């Protein structure tokens, strides 16, 4: 309990800058209750005004047995935990109230109890799961965070499962998410800054970075972009991502989304900045490069040669997933000559009875795969296997038997589909899947020539893409041979002595001297 | 200007990529026509000549740090004459870009896309060019560095020819006589053109003058060696009677190889060669766009990108007969030697004689 309270306290302390903003918004000409010198009942009517019609706003009046002063608890029933109210407010109050007054209760009560004088904050505090305590003294009131415990268990994120390594993942609660990061980075330099976006939704966001490593310019830039967001509602992290990314028209994800705290912690130590959200288990990392999307936590728990091999396979899959159907289309419709003699009869016989041009064949099958994929996400797992059978076996087998699609096309499409799902990041996988369609069309119109132009434009697009001022395709463009150690391959831990250059970390040296004992 | 700069290493790749281009396929043939099987000596000689131009070019740009050719011209020639020459240079660079399109179109039309109308082939490249030059030199340089490893694949394919070569074909060395060899080197200079892009790109390069010179000079040296290797290989692969009838010896050579996984190696080679062509085209187009920017006093060269690419594409569509292409190639090449090979020396002389330089401006 105490462990989780720490971040909670942080929220409270950091609330003040944002609340200044709200108080500016509310700067209506009406006078504050203090100046009007209201009685307790009048004050309550006043503060309840913005919530006029909601029925879960509760008031609870208590008359103290000792001095017969009235105190009133005000809270929104649905978002507070009544047990906390009972144990943290009511029980201590009645234990002490027999002999002493409210002030002494305040002195001995929890650290979460705060004296407030700004009545403009009432609305804000109520919405942030506070229980407010009003006394006869109408110049001030007290607040205490009493959030209802609706946390789900910390589980491994399904979409980023790994074989070896930590199996915990973020959940829909900001303070727990931050706790998961802090648990891994027990350094005073880990800095958390809170922001609240969305005029009506008041979504809590935290920026996390390691102060002596992350580039202050980047931090400033991220803060600037987040502060500039103006919207009634920010529902999903996707809203934030789209608001702060550099090139919204690019197919490529420019911010790394992850649900793994270990991944966030590792990236923070490389000098990156994380955005952690309340109400969403996704964290965003920036600035990232193309190759960050191809790294998996698993790589670091394997032997480094094996990790390097799999990383290489993943990068290779990028080209297969984008280019394979295009190359196949180009070969069968333009460049039959490149097929070696032994294969030519095989391909010819497979293609002979197909009535459709290869492009149509490919589009048909690729779209079918996308349909199956989309359907299997929505379906519960029990029906999911049905889709796999219907989609995979029935469609795959039947279209060939029906003579609509050639055998080879099925093979090509299957390999492509597998290659696209090798990417550890779902966003990058989606980008790759979309990109294969323009390549297929280019191949069907101009053959190899079209594919080459496609790749040229794609690579150049990657070369000119920047995320938060750092080049996206680093360390390939600009070429930095030293940084390839964690991009193309996964160099052994004791070789990873520097942080990636494009992150502009303040300290380049990771001080990895883990094999000092080995003097040979 | 700050995020437009390139490092001297990037300049190396820029020059190499600009130099290696459309000429590589037909170079052995065009040299053979002039200097017979001593063509490769002509090429080496041309490499030496080019070094002089490079030296002049470097000295010229060194006198005016951070100035492109188009900034230098008015400074050494006066406002009006400078403007005229700015215009002529811009036209020259755009015509060279158009020539690259013409030659590339004729090869692609002959080897890969027989049925596709030539304007499609030309416009695809022009579109790519417009997209590329709408960025900064730094991004272009990054891309050029990125695609350089492809040369190793091209190289590997050519090395494969050594399974079937006859060194006797090149003997006796020097049989055609010194004069023929020197005459042949003028054609070889055309193939090495591309170092003239340094007239603009040097302005964006950071690093000491000595390093810059080393880099351009070394780039040109590398290209000369690589070209000589290719020419030499084709000369020992084909016998002298054969080369006369194969206008693209490199491709014919590769066509003869087949591996168990790929039958027509030349198609793979050509696909990668397109990237080399594109890089040369992009460099020249960029230089031309910079010229337009300087003439029209535009804020960014990006706004000229689409128009200059369109202009080159339209010019490139004009010649449609094979003979016409040969004529265009001949005249534009001659003019190129004048503008890129000789004029840097003349410009340097003018600036030395008129004592024009901005050496002190380096600090700013």
ipTM: 0.91
Residues on chain B touching A446 (C-beta within 8 angstroms): 113, 116, 120, 124
A156-182 pLDDT, tens digit per residue, is 888 888 888 888 999 988 889 999 999
Q: Given this model, what pLDDT does residue A8 score?
A: 41
**With an 8 Å Cβ cutoff, are B145 and A453 in contact?**
no
CA distance B194 to A90: 84
A242 assigned to some structural domain: yes
Average pLDDT value for chain A? 83
- Report phi then psi at A143, rounded to 5: -130, 150
A44 and A81 in a common domain? yes
Q: What are phi and psi of A470, to 5 degrees?
A: -110, 140
Based on the fold, state whether residues A67 and A119 are members of the same structural domain: yes
Of A228, A256, A288, which residue sits at a domain end? Answer: A288
C-alpha B23/C-alpha B38 separation (Å) is 18
Q: Tell me how far CA of residue B52 lies from CA of A397, B70, B91, in angstroms.
A: 68, 21, 24
Residues A365, A421, single domain; the answer is: yes
Residues A228 and A319 in one domain: no
Shortest Cα–Cα distance, A399 to chain B (Å): 28
Query: Where are the strands (E) in A451-505, listed by range?
Result: 466-467, 470-471
Report the residue of chain B nearest A333, measured CA to CA. B113
Q: How many CB atoms lie within 10 A of CB A291?
A: 21
Of A452, A460, A477, the CB nearest to B274: A452
The contact set of B with A (CB < 8 A) is 10, 108, 112-113, 116, 120-121, 124-125, 128, 131-132, 135, 139, 142-143, 145-147, 258-264, 267-268, 270-272, 274-275, 278
Q: Is residue A335 part of a domain?
A: yes
With a cut of 90, say whether residue A455 has pLDDT above it.
Answer: yes
Residue A410 within any structural domain of the chain: yes
- Asked whether residue A375 is domain-assigned, the answer is yes
Does residue A207 carry a pLDDT above 90? Answer: yes
Q: What are the Cα distances from residue B306, in Å, to A442, B102, B285, B292, B310?
A: 22, 18, 10, 12, 6
- A124 plus A162 within the same structural domain: no
| Confidence label for B282 from pLDDT (cuts 50, 70 and 90) | very high
Domain boundary (A263, A288, A313) is at A288
Number of independent structural domains in chain A:
3
Q: Which residues in A lie closer than 8 A to residue B142 (C-beta atoms)? A: 463, 471, 473, 477-479
- Same structural domain for residues A61 and A97? yes
Average of pLDDT values for B66-81? 86
Q: Region B283-300: what's the mean pLDDT? A: 90
Distance from CA of B189 to the nearest CA of A (A): 28
Considering the domain architecture, whether residues A217 and A335 belong to the same structural domain is answered as no
pLDDT higher than 70, residue A14: no
Task: Note whether residue A503 is domain-resident.
Answer: no
Same domain as A415, residue A451: yes
Q: How much is the pLDDT for A4? A: 43
> Which residue is closest to B7 within chain A, CA to CA?
A478
**A70 shares its domain with A132:** yes
Q: Is residue A422, in this structure, part of any structural domain at all?
A: yes
The confidence score (pLDDT) of residue A452 equals 93
Kindly state the average pLDDT of the residues B136-146.
91
Name the residue facing B275 among A446, A452, A478 (closest C-beta): A452
Domain boundary among A256, A288, A320: A288
Q: Which residue of A has its CA nearest to B126?
A: A453
pLDDT class of A322 with cuts at 50, 70, 90? very high
**Would A134 be classed as within a structural domain?**
yes
Q: Are residues A456 and A319 in the same domain?
A: yes
Q: Confidence class of residue A146 from pLDDT cuts 50, 70 and 90?
A: confident
Q: Which domain does A381 fall in, by range?
A: 302-467
On whether residue A18 sits in a domain, the answer given is no
Q: What is the pLDDT of residue B24?
A: 84
Q: Per mean pLDDT, which range of A102-106, B238-242, B317-321 is the poorest?
A: A102-106
Which domains does chain B show, CATH number per domain?
2-358 (1.20.1740.10)
Tokens for A255, please give them.
């911010």
Q: Are B70 and B86 in contact (CB under 8 A)?
A: yes
| pLDDT above 70 (res B363) | no
Name the pLDDT band for B286 (thresholds 50, 70, 90).
very high
Contacts of B264 (CB under 8 A, 6+ apart): A335, A337, A338, B255, B258
Residues 6+ apart with CB under 8 A from B201: B6, B11, B14, B15, B137, B283
pLDDT for position A67? 64
Residues A139 and A213 in one domain: no
A369 plus A397 within the same structural domain: yes
- Poorest-confidence range of A35-39, A393-397, A401-405, B280-284? A35-39
Q: Helices B209-237 and B150-159, interaxial angle, to 10°?
A: 30
pLDDT digits (tens, 9 = 90+) for A80-131: 888 888 887 777 777 665 554 566 666 655 667 777 778 888 888 888 888 8
**CB-based contacts of A342, cutoff 8 Å, min separation 6:** B260
């Amino acid at each position: 309990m105490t462990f989780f309270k720490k971040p909670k306290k942080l929220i409270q302390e950091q609330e003040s800058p944002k609340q200044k903003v709200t108080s500016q918004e509310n700067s209506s000409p009406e006078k504050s209750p203090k100046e009007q010198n209201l009685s307790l009942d009048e004050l309550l009517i006043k503060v309840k005004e913005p919530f006029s019609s909601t029925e879960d706003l509760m008031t609870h009046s208590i008359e103290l047995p000792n001095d017969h002063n009235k105190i009133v608890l005000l809270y929104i029933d649905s978002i507070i935990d009544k047990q906390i109210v009972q144990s943290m407010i009511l029980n201590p109050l009645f234990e002490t109230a027999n002999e002493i007054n409210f002030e002494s209760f305040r002195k001995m009560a929890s650290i979460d109890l705060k004296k407030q004088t700004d009545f403009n904050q009432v609305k804000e505090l109520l919405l942030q799961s506070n229980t407010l305590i009003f006394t006869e003294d109408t110049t001030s009131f007290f607040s205490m965070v009493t959030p209802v415990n609706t946390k789900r268990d910390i589980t491994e994120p399904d979409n980023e499962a790994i074989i070896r390594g930590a199996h915990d993942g973020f959940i829909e609660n900001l303070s727990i998410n931050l706790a998961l990061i802090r648990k891994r980075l027990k350094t005073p330099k880990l800095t958390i800054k809170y922001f609240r976006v969305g005029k009506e939704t008041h979504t809590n966001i935290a920026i996390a970075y390691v102060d002596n490593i992350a580039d202050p310019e980047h931090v400033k830039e991220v803060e600037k972009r987040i502060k500039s967001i103006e919207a009634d509602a920010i529902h999903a992290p996707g809203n934030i991502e789209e608001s702060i990314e550099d090139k919204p028209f690019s197919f490529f994800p420019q911010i790394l989304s992850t649900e793994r705290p270990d991944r966030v912690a590792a990236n923070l130590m490389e000098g990156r900045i994380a955005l952690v959200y309340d109400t969403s288990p996704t964290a965003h990392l920036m600035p990232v490069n193309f190759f960050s999307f191809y790294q998996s936590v698993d790589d670091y728990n394997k032997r480094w040669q094996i990790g390097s091999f799999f990383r290489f396979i993943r990068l290779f899959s990028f080209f297969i997933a984008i280019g394979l159907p295009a190359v196949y289309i180009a070969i069968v419709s333009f460049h039959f000559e490149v097929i070696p003699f032994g294969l030519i009869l095989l391909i010819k016989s497979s293609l002979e009875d197909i009535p459709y041009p290869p492009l149509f064949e490919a589009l048909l099958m690729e779209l079918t795969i996308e349909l199956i994929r989309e359907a299997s996400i929505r379906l519960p797992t029990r029906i999911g296997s049905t889709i796999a059978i219907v989609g995979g076996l029935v469609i795959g087998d039947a279209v060939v038997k029906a003579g609509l699609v050639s055998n080879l096309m099925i093979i090509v499409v299957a390999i492509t589909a597998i290659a696209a799902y090798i990417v550890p990041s779902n966003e990058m996988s989606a980008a790759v899947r979309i990109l294969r369609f323009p390549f297929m069309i280019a191949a069907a119109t101009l053959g190899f020539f079209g594919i080459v132009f496609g790749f040229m434009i794609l690579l150049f697009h990657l070369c000119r893409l920047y995320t938060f001022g750092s080049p996206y395709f680093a360390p390939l463009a600009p070429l930095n041979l030293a940084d390839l150690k964690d991009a193309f391959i996964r160099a052994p831990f004791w070789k990873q002595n520097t942080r990636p250059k494009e992150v502009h970390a303040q300290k380049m040296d990771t001080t990895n001297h883990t094999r000092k004992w080995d003097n040979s | 200007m700050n995020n437009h700069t390139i490092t001297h290493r990037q300049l190396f790749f820029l020059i190499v990529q600009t130099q290696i281009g459309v000429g590589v396929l037909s170079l052995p043939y065009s040299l053979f026509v002039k200097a017979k099987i001593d063509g490769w000596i002509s090429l080496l000689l041309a490499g030496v000549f080019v070094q002089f131009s490079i030296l002049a070019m470097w000295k010229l740009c060194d006198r005016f740090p951070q100035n492109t050719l188009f900034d230098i011209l008015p400074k050494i020639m006066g406002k009006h004459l400078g403007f005229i020459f700015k215009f002529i240079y811009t036209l020259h660079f755009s015509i060279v870009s158009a020539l690259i399109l013409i030659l590339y179109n004729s090869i692609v039309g002959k080897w890969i896309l027989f049925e596709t109308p030539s304007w499609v082939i030309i416009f695809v490249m022009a579109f790519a060019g417009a997209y590329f030059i709408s960025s900064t030199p730094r991004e272009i340089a990054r891309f050029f560095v990125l695609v350089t490893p492809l040369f190793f694949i091209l190289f590997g394919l050519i090395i494969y020819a050594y399974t079937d070569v006859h060194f006797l074909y090149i003997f006796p060395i020097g049989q055609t006589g010194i004069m023929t060899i020197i005459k042949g080197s003028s054609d070889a200079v055309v193939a090495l053109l591309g170092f003239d892009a340094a007239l603009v790109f040097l302005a964006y390069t950071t690093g000491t003058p000595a390093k810059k010179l080393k880099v351009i000079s070394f780039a040109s040296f590398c290209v000369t060696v690589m070209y000589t290797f290719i020419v030499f290989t084709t000369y020992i692969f084909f016998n002298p009677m054969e080369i006369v009838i194969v206008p693209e010896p490199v491709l014919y050579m590769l066509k003869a190889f087949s591996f168990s996984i790929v039958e027509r190696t030349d198609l793979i080679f050509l696909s990668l060669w397109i990237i080399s062509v594109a890089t040369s085209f992009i460099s020249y187009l960029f230089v031309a766009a910079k010229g337009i920017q300087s003439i029209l006093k535009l804020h960014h060269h990006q706004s000229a990108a689409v128009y200059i690419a369109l202009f080159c594409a339209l010019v490139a569509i004009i010649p449609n007969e094979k003979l016409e292409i040969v004529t265009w190639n001949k005249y534009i090449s001659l003019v190129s030697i004048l503008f890129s090979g000789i004029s840097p020396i003349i410009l340097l002389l003018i600036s030395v004689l008129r004592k024009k330089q901005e050496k002190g401006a380096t600090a700013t």
